[in-house]
Amino acid sequence: MKTGLYFGSFNPIHIGHLAIANFMIEFSDLEQLWFVVSPQNPLKEKLSLLKDYHRLEMVRLAVEDDDRFRASDIEFKLPTPSYTIDTLAYLEELNPGKEFQLVMGADGLRTFHKWKHAKLIVKNYHRLIYPRPNTGMDAASDLSNATVVNAPLMEISSSFIRQAIREGKDVRHLVPAKAYQYMREMHFYEK
């Protein structure tokens, strides 16, 4: 079974994430897509990151009614910071019948060469790359064993949502309903 792995902090998950995930399922040969909630991206600061289990719960709430999607906490079981190659090895060990592919934004191509064992990832795992604002597809990265997917360009970001909440803006239509309700009940990102 071809399974897409969509890595991210999902801080918070938003409708752009779901639109990309839906596009990948409908317009590629993926049969399932897992949202892999990362405890810490080694190339990003951890400043405004909610606790892992809160971000996982928001993802779980956002995808629980769609059996094509799954919230994954696999990286919570691995040492931090999280390295994609280690996660892939662990997932393959646990799921021998699955063929994993990476779903990544074009903005990730800029730093892909810095990823642990980037050449091994390119060699062994197909990448589905979707467009991101102000990012060219070449973005100084090797595009072998990759498909550039003509997904819609999503100009929404988690950082925009966090900032809007701090400013007292209503973001209810930018975050999946159940995740939004959980976020509001917990007063996330308000300060």
Q: What is the rounded distance in angstroms from the CA atom of residue 7 to the CA atom of residue 84?
A: 8
pLDDT at 135: 76
Q: Is the pLDDT of residue 134 over 70?
A: yes
What domains sit in the chain, N to C, each tagged with a CATH number?
2-156 (3.40.50.620)
At residue 44, does pLDDT exceed 80?
no
pTM for the model stands at 0.93
Q: Is the pLDDT of residue 55 over 50?
A: yes
Quick one: tokens of 122?
């390119």
Indicate whether 45 pLDDT > 70.
Answer: no
pLDDT surpasses 50 at 127: yes
Average pLDDT over residues 163-180: 97
C-alpha distance across the termini of the chain, in Å = 43
Q: Is 24 helix (H, G, I), strand (E, B) or coil?
A: helix
Q: Evaluate if residue 139 carries a pLDDT over 60.
A: no
Q: How high does pLDDT run on average in the chain?
A: 92
